[in-house]
Structure 1
Amino acid sequence: MGISKDLTEEDVKFRYINEAITNKGWSKDSIFMEQKVKFTDGKISLHGNLVHREKPKFADYVLYVNKATPIAIVEAKDANHSVSHGLQQAMTYAQMLDVMFAYSSNGEGFAEHDFLTGKERTFAIDEFPTKEELIERYKREANDGSGLNEQELSVIEQPFCTGQNIFPPRYYQRNAVNRTVGAIAKGQNRVLLVMATGTGKTYTAFQIVWRLLKSGLKKKVLYLADRNILVDQSIQQDFKPLEKVTHKIDFSKDKNHLEELGSYQVFFALYQQLIGQNDAKNYKELFPNPDYFDLVIVDECHRGSAKDDSNWRNILEYFSSATHIGMTATPKETKYQSSIGYFGEPIYTYSLKNGIEDGFLAPFKVINI
């Protein structure tokens, strides 16, 4: 006998879906399951002088490998709908959140879409995969069926940096971090991230560095920028949890204390400091071994070093054995400079339009004067 058609969506969740999921090890009291997860703020709409927010997006259930890695979305519908009625919505949310498995349920069973294989199926309410089964499928099916390598597993298991003054990543920041560390774990050496101004590029860079250092995939990091304010803000704000191993390069002081540089892991530098007067190539004096860094982050990579014949590009070429991550809101593609030509196609893009649609950025009006 089917379940009562009078039950609301909340009734169905409370009576049937909660139990079906938690019985398989997805505990509500642990890090493996969250209910009613809000992942956008809701678009800000302007009507003349009136401003209001549209509804934010919520997922009914998000299941996790760990807090850094969501693995599944489950959407619930009331008993008047078919078992697969919510699957398209679950798939849309899963694609936004970079999640591999999407499910829908009306309390009578589940419909599943597996993004790793492209297959869909339905099954009974008591046949939801256990935590161990689903995580094992993810590890086995990833990378077109060749599975995850040891480096990928180690970086997946490394959580984000959390603390009293550190906000958890927004969904798109988590996507950007996870895609970047995953690509580097696979051996990709040039990575481009395109994120709109105001969406937290430096915070994203910090979480990438944190997870690569803590998982042991990288040991020495160079963060390149072309303005002092970019460097100082990064050190004092987003990178503060790493302050004990962070150093801002000052050539005039550092050249007399080269032996002390070895105690640091994350170096911040202006191109101008590393080049020096009349293209002096200060970077060679400070770091005579071109393999010194295994990760270079290029902030605002559409400027300066984007040009093939730039003397700033020489720094990137000197440290060419390192993994290079380019970060920009506006990748430049001209005859003389190409962000994509150097770094490859963006591994993740979060545009101004995305930010406005999600309500993380305010809409704007263009006023001609």
Structure 2
Amino acid sequence: MAAKEAKARIKINKLLEESGWRFFDDLAGKANIVLEPKVKLTKDAVDALGDNFEQSSNGFIDFLLLDDAGFPLLVLEAKSEDKNPLVGKEQARKYAKSQNCRFVILSNGNLHYFWDLEQGNPHIITRFPSPDSIKGYHRFQPNPQRLITEPVSKDYIALTQMPGYATEAGWNNAGERDAFIQKNRLRFLRDYQKRAVQAIQDAVAEGHSRFLFEMATGTGKTLTAASVIKLFLRTGNARRVLFLVDRLELEDQANKAFVAYLKNDYTSVIYKERRDEWRKAEIVVTTVQSLLFNDKYRRLFSPTDFDLVISDEAHRSIGGNARAVFEYFVGYKLGLTATPRDYLKKFDASKPSTRDPREAERRLLLDTYRTFGCESGQPTFRYSLLDGVREGFLINPVVVDARTDITTQLLSDKGYAVANGGEGGEEGSEDSFFQKDFEKKFFSESTNRIFCQTVLNNGLRDPISHEFGKSIVFAVSQNHAAKLTQLLNELADVIWPDKYQSDFAVQVTSLIPDAQQYTINFTNNNLLGSANFLEAYKTSKARVCVTVGMMTTGYDCPDILNLALMRPVFSPSDFVQIKGRGTRKHGFLEQLFDKQLKAQIGRQEKSQFKFFDFFANCEYFEEKFDYDQVLKLPRLGTGEGNGEVGGTTIGPNGEYIHGGPDNIHQVREEAVGPQGMKIDRMFFEGFENVVKADPILQRQVDNEQWDQAIDYVTTHLLDKPAEYYTLDKLRRAAGVDRRLTLREILEKIFGLIPYFKGKDELLEDEFQKFLLDQPPEALSQHAEAVVAMKYFFKAYATDGHLRDILEKKRLTDLNVNPAFSMADFKAVPQEWRERIPEYVKDYVSLNQFM
């Protein structure tokens, strides 16, 4: 017992010190931790207590944390490792009230709860709040009743943008009102957006602190989120809001919207642009990936730094262990998603996720609803695509079912080789389906040419200039996107001679420099120029963006007239997002500056868009969809036997095999010389100096363009004759007991991480993410077994032999297994023996521990 008490004390002491609390006076300030009222913890007291830290001559010892003036601020109730921290809950409450403390931490060294006595139940935390954070939180006095009764009118946002708009002449003159609104960019809530905000008020009145909005793409989730943010900030129920997005390009888009809507009352910043000044802002926008990498969220923030956390595209940004970022913070949580719960009904829960990617998506969606307290599948508020179409805010697509003979064959169960997961499909992602194999086997130039010809021959034209309508094409991979872009430009030269100089189609993928700016320019109708057909009409000269995943989520370009899926889609959320790029309405006359021509043409509203589907994706997800148009495409061949078809071969099983040459890319032999045997610190420092001196790389890192930075280093700095830097040599030079990624190395060089974490520290971080991902009630039942669970988690993640034993159910082998024995296994509660391996397989990258 004494040993467990001592271990708990050591861990708690370390956690307190890591968060900035002081046991002793030092240069940072006076000690702010005492034991028992008015009993200061000294070095002599620590030595005298020894292992028996829970008892003293005066009774039970609590940690009392003080503010700068020496007044009690927080009570820390400590228990030994084999006790559930919650057993001391009532004792801690009594003690906290006697000290006039509002906050309590309950901890056994492994599992910790933060409890605001004025705000309901304890919340699991993985780091203790810092003194500055808890002092700020102490000044925070939320009043849910104010939030519940706050009037939310249609002009809720407009009143922040221009408080006196209703007294302006432009508003009061009916004939000038539309121009006045447009000039001042005033935003008014639609009825359903107002109902969404009011749904949160109703949920808070019922005692809820988690909310989920399910709103179709194009229905203004960001404007609605801005209204929610204003509601919480204005009523004093939040001091600061964290807005999480899952893509870099959405970061800037969301921040610009919040600035436009709320800047007169509140400050919004992107974290990476204001790293040293984010505390001055009420709204902080960042990507969940940047916080998750190397667990930066735990180093950058305290659990009490944000009182409202909003997850945009919640099914993505809290998927997997990214949920650890979301759950790290205490307070209110709001999720936004465009993926309807209807998809949950279509998949069988009994299907193994490793076989069917749709099952993984189903699990992800279900987890999203559970996370936000919507286990029944009913969100806090719902507004579907059909609702938007019925009320005149959105439009449905004209689906063009355009299957070739080959792609029809590929729709059989044996046709696709699929790996579980897959978001975005950017080349290099281990989570997407096997796209290199897919592309080599299934896409020859002849097939791609048919795809492109079909879109160009049948796509909608711009109603003003009659040129080809603005379009987005979704490719399998970045390599595939490059091929399609080239083909589209070649075909455009034939159809519209001298009109385009290879700028009809543009590749917009993560490895293309300035790709994010391309998406913005395409929306603003100045991508590679504008007014190519009609001088007085502003529309992008580039007519087609060919992408993989960059333009699927949250991209707003309302004048899109054609979408083309030149790849299969296995994720319902991806499918909904892609379709949503075209559902927004648009008035094309806004882009025409010739008044006489305007009068002649009259209103030109977007009433439809075409959705070209070459792989029956619509049928795959919407079995009863009424197709509006079916095209018969040119036949590639009979597809029988092993016949030659358009430069390709149809294999015996119907697979489409590329028939072109396949050359060896590179042959290189490396003799290990003296430089390979003397890797040391100087070698790493030499590489560090080279990297820091490169302005291109500096800019890429500053902008968090990690794909481009890694590609640049690989292409320009590694494997060069001068120093012959290689990734393996750099890893050895770093002296870490695990594998390092090139991104980690760059982050260390540019000071974004203080050091390389060792294997055990990384495992500790992964286990903390695991704890945050678990239902609090499940952990509470087995809090005393957390040490055994952690040992099992670490062993399973690092020991391939143990994984093999458990996978093959050879449990008797544990009796002679030195690293993890049968006794260790039995110490793990039954339900966690399956839950831990399942989590590790799904969310922990095992390569880093090799």
TM-score tier (shorter): 0.5 to 0.7
Check conservation: 1:196, 1:352, Cα contact below 8 A. Answer: yes
Task: Using the TM superposition, give the Cα deviation of residue 367 of structure 1 relative to its aligned residue in structure 2, in angstroms.
Answer: 1.1
| Counterparts in 2 of 1:351 and 1:153: CA distance versus 1, 3 Å | closer
Counterpart secondary structure, 2:310: strand
| Counterparts in 2 of 1:233 and 1:336: CA distance versus 1, 3 Å | closer
Counterpart secondary structure, 1:297: strand
| Counterparts in 2 of 1:150 and 1:324: CA distance versus 1, 3 Å | closer
| Counterparts in 2 of 1:228 and 1:335: CA distance versus 1, 3 Å | closer
Opposite residue 217 of structure 1, the aligned amino acid is: N
Task: Using the TM superposition, give the Cα deviation of residue 237 of structure 1 relative to its aligned residue in structure 2, in angstroms.
Answer: 2.5
Q: Which residue of 1 is the match for residue 17 of structure 2?
A: none
For 1:328, which of 322, 337, 356 is the aligned residue? 337
Point out where structure 2 has 5 or more consecutive residues left out of the alignment. 1-143, 162-183, 345-361, 403-850
Distance 1:304 1:214 in 2: 27
1:184 aligns with 2:180: no
Check conservation: 1:151, 1:186, Cα contact below 8 A. Answer: no
Structure 1 residues 166-315: aligned runs within 5 Å: 166-184=186-204, 186-243=206-263, 245-250=267-272, 254=275, 257=276, 260-276=277-293, 280-287=294-301, 289-306=302-319, 310-315=320-325
Distance 2:338 2:364 in 1: 19
Task: Using the TM superposition, give the Cα deviation of residue 161 of structure 1 relative to its aligned residue in structure 2, in angstroms.
Answer: 1.9
Distance 1:264 1:290 in 2: 17
Distance 1:364 1:313 in 2: 34
Residues 265-322 of structure 1, C-alpha deviation per residue, up to 9 Å, x if partnerless?
A: 111010122112xxx11011111x212111010000111413xxx2211101211x22
Residues 237-272 of structure 1, C-alpha deviation per residue, up to 9 Å, x if partnerless?
A: 344243452121118x72xx3xx3321111101012
Counterpart secondary structure, 1:176: helix
Opposite residue 324 of structure 1, the aligned amino acid is: K
Check conservation: 2:213, 2:336, Cα contact below 8 A. Answer: yes
Q: Which residue of 2 is the match for residue 139 of structure 1?
A: none
CA RMSD in angstroms comes to: 2.4
In terms of Rg, which structure is larger? 2
Residues 217-253 of structure 1, C-alpha deviation per residue, up to 9 Å, x if partnerless?
A: 21110000011221211211344243452121118x7
Moved beyond 4 Å, runs of 4+: none
| Counterparts in 2 of 1:328 and 1:361: CA distance versus 1, 3 Å | same
| Counterparts in 2 of 1:357 and 1:292: CA distance versus 1, 3 Å | same
Q: Which residue of 2 is the match for residue 340 of structure 1?
A: 369
| Counterparts in 2 of 1:262 and 1:237: CA distance versus 1, 3 Å | closer
Task: Using the TM superposition, give the Cα deviation of residue 153 of structure 1 relative to its aligned residue in structure 2, in angstroms.
Answer: 4.8
Distance 1:353 1:157 in 2: 25
Residues 189-243 of structure 1, C-alpha deviation per residue, up to 9 Å, x if partnerless?
A: 1101011100101111011101211111211100000112212112113442434
For 2:383, which of 336, 345, 350 is the aligned residue? 350
Opposite residue 242 of structure 2, the aligned amino acid is: L
Opposite residue 237 of structure 1, the aligned amino acid is: A
| Counterparts in 2 of 1:220 and 1:187: CA distance versus 1, 3 Å | farther
| Counterparts in 2 of 1:337 and 1:356: CA distance versus 1, 3 Å | closer
For 2:327, which of 317, 323, 337 is the aligned residue? 317
Q: Which residue of 2 is the match for residue 160 of structure 1?
A: 156
Distance 1:283 1:341 in 2: 23
Larger helix proportion of the pair: 2
Larger strand proportion of the pair: 1
Check conservation: 1:160, 1:211, Cα contact below 8 A. Answer: no
Higher alpha-carbon deviation: 325-334 or 343-352: 325-334
Distance 1:354 1:197 in 2: 12
Q: Which residue of 1 is the match for residue 775 of structure 2?
A: none
Point out where structure 1 has 5 or more consecutive residues left out of the alignment. 1-148
Structure 1 residues 54-133: aligned runs within 5 Å: none
Q: Which residue of 1 is the match for residue 392 of structure 2?
A: 359
Check conservation: 1:206, 1:239, Cα contact below 8 A. Answer: no
What is the aligned-residue identity percentage?
Answer: 32
| Counterparts in 2 of 1:317 and 1:153: CA distance versus 1, 3 Å | closer
Check conservation: 1:225, 1:299, Cα contact below 8 A. Answer: yes
With the length of structure 1 as denominator, give the TM-score of the two structures: 0.52
Distance 1:356 1:261 in 2: 40
Q: Which residue of 2 is the match for residue 34 of structure 1?
A: none
Q: Which residue of 2 is the match for residue 150 of structure 1?
A: 145
Residues 116-170 of structure 1, C-alpha deviation per residue, up to 9 Å, x if partnerless?
A: xxxxxxxxxxxxxxxxxxxxxxxxxxxxxxxxx7334542378712143222111
Distance 1:237 1:150 in 2: 28
Distance 1:354 1:265 in 2: 33
| Counterparts in 2 of 1:301 and 1:173: CA distance versus 1, 3 Å | same
Distance 1:347 1:286 in 2: 31
Distance 1:185 1:283 in 2: 31
Distance 1:238 1:294 in 2: 17
Counterpart secondary structure, 2:388: helix
Distance 1:157 1:216 in 2: 15
Distance 2:245 2:279 in 1: 21
Check conservation: 1:154, 1:215, Cα contact below 8 A. Answer: no
Distance 1:347 1:176 in 2: 8
| Counterparts in 2 of 1:297 and 1:156: CA distance versus 1, 3 Å | same
Residues 317-362 of structure 1, C-alpha deviation per residue, up to 9 Å, x if partnerless?
A: 211x221111011056423552212111301111000111111111
Opposite residue 340 of structure 1, the aligned amino acid is: Y
Counterpart secondary structure, 1:192: strand
Opposite residue 284 of structure 2, the aligned amino acid is: F
| Counterparts in 2 of 1:179 and 1:239: CA distance versus 1, 3 Å | farther
Distance 1:230 1:187 in 2: 32
Check conservation: 2:148, 2:204, Cα contact below 8 A. Answer: no
Opposite residue 285 of structure 1, the aligned amino acid is: R
Opposite residue 358 of structure 1, the aligned amino acid is: E
Check conservation: 2:271, 2:286, Cα contact below 8 A. Answer: yes
Count of matched residue pairs: 209
Distance 2:230 2:249 in 1: 22
User: Which structure is higher in RCO with an 8 Å CA cutoff and minimum separation 6?
Assistant: 1
Check conservation: 1:179, 1:347, Cα contact below 8 A. Answer: yes
Distance 1:182 1:336 in 2: 27
